[in-house]
């Protein structure tokens, strides 16, 4: 695979990144098979692996750590911190207290003395971004972290963090990890342009729309094992897996892929890495067969005619249906932030 610069870090990465969310009890509980998938990915030219402390309740980091024995120096290893790791409210978030504690846990599970890219998994409105950046800066100076990044950050939060880093003399976030696919193009409006402006690399997740762009979850076509898998996934992310408009769009995209002589999966992956602001797209295979299919399409390039047709089906900068696992800011999720107190409304 032809390497790409990870923003201005000086690090070179492959256009595909191996995501590991499906390794462990949540996806594939067979540690040996997960290790084989990791090794097959590295042998195919993928040199960046993304994981997180919260994946399979820390089991995934352990799988990755065991699989990378003897090959650690060949890998750009990325993990994340922020998601809850227990009932204790202080075992989550982006405070100095939690970051400097959890990085040691991740290092132990990953069996390494440093993390190449340490990412804040979600924004933490409760914590001053200066507090977070100061803790991450200290970890970089200690040699435990090589570069830092964000994940699921709105454009405004990315800009604020860059300004704070400059004014306080702290380390800058060098990457962002947003959702991006044929179905979810919202980041084209602000997030990707902001990342380009600040020289940040991007590792886009869910380029296959949480499985909707694999071709397995077609409208009125699931039966047998695929139906069982589909229903299990619907219990987890029911809205976008059952949304009528989303499925109608998938059908139109599948038709276009067929006309272009490629699978929907290969068209979706080629689209994700075609944007000039996208550094690498995260693939999340659960089985070796899934990995082999993704690798088979790694050389797919979309012509302007296909990209123009895609723009007609899903206009640039739009989301057909939001992923249930996407980050929603407090301004959207908390009713109290959208409504004036009753007395003020009455007085008006």
pLDDT at 233: 47
Q: What's the pLDDT score for residue 243?
A: 76
Q: Is 55 a catalytic residue?
A: yes
pLDDT-above-90 percentage for the chain: 82
d(CA 241, CA 247): 8
For the record, the structure tokens of 88 come out as: 């204790």
Give yes or no for a contact between 99 and 91, defined as CB atoms under 8 angstroms apart. no
Query: What is the four-CA torsion angle of 87, 146, 14, 73, rounded to 10 degrees?
Result: -100
pLDDT at 345 over 60: no
Rounded to whole angstroms, the maximal C-alpha distance in the chain is 70
Instruction: Give 105-155 pLDDT, tens digit per residue.
Output: 999 999 999 999 999 999 999 999 999 999 999 999 999 999 999 999 999
Select which of 55, 118, 180, 217 is catalytic.
Answer: 55
Other CB atoms within 10 A of residue 323 CB:
20
Within a 10 A sphere around the Cβ of 66, how many other Cβ atoms?
Answer: 16
Which residues share a beta bridge with 48?
A: 76
Domain 4-339 CATH class label: alpha beta
What is the DSSP code (8-state) at residue 20?
-
**pLDDT single digits (tens) 77-89:** 999 999 999 999 9
Is the pLDDT assigned to residue 266 strictly greater than 70? Answer: yes
Cα–Cα distance for residue pair 179/266, rounded to 1 Å: 18
Residue 297 CB-half CA count within 13 A: 22
Cα dist. 9→151, 163, 293 in Å?
A: 17, 18, 31
End-to-end CA distance of the chain: 62
The set of residues, in sequence order, having a beta carbon less than 8 Å from that of 34 and lying 6+ positions away, is 20, 23, 24, 28, 63, 67
Beta strand 12-13 with 115-120 is unpaired
Element (H, E) at 9: none
Is the pLDDT at 231 greater than 70? The verdict is: no
Q: Within a 10 A sphere around the Cβ of 37, how many other Cβ atoms?
A: 25
Indicate if the pLDDT at residue 176 is higher than 90: yes
Looking up tokens 């993304």 gives: 50
User: What's residue 338's pLDDT?
Assistant: 85
Query: Average pLDDT for residues 209-229, to the nearest whole number?
Result: 69
Q: Which residues contact 193 (CB under 8 A, 6 or more apart)?
A: 155, 277
Q: How many CB atoms lie within 10 A of CB 90?
A: 10
For residue 40, the tally of other CB atoms under 10 A from its CB is: 16
């Amino acid at each position: 695979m032809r390497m790409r610069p990870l923003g201005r870090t000086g690090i070179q990465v492959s256009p595909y990144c191996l995501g590991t969310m499906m390794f462990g009890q949540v996806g594939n509980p067979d540690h040996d098979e997960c290790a084989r998938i990791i090794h097959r990915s590295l042998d195919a030219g993928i040199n960046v692996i993304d994981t997180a402390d919260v994946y399979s309740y820390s089991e995934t980091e352990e799988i990755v750590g065991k699989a990378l024995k003897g090959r650690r120096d060949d890998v750009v290893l990325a993990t994340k911190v922020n998601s809850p790791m227990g009932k204790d409210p202080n075992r989550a978030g982006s405070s100095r207290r939690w970051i400097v504690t959890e990085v040691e846990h991740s290092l132990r599970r990953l069996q390494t003395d440093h993390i190449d890219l340490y990412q804040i998994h979600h924004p933490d409105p409760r914590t001053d971004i200066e507090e977070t950046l100061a803790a991450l800066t200290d970890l970089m100076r200690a040699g435990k972290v090589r570069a830092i990044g964000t994940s699921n950050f709105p454009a405004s939060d990315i800009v604020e963090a860059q300004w704070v880093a400059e004014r306080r003399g702290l380390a800058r976030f060098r990457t962002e990890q947003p959702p991006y696919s044929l179905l979810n193009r919202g980041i084209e409006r602000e997030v990707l342009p902001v990342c380009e402006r600040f020289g940040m690399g991007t590792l886009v997740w869910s380029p296959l729309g949480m499985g909707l762009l694999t071709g397995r979850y077609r409208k009125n076509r699931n039966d047998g094992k695929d139906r069982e898998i589909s229903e299990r996934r619907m219990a987890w992310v029911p809205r976008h897996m059952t949304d009528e408009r989303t499925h109608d769009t998938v059908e139109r995209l599948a038709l276009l892929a067929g006309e272009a002589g490629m699978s929907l999966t290969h068209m979706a992956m080629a689209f994700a890495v075609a944007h000039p602001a996208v550094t690498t797209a995260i693939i999340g295979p659960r089985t070796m067969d899934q990995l082999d299919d993704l690798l088979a399409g790694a050389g797919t390039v979309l012509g302007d005619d296909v990209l123009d047709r895609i723009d007609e089906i899903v206009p640039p900068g739009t989301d057909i249906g939001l992923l249930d696992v996407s980050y929603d800011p407090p301004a959207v999720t908390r009713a109290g932030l959208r409504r004036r107190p009753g007395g003020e409304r009455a007085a008006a």
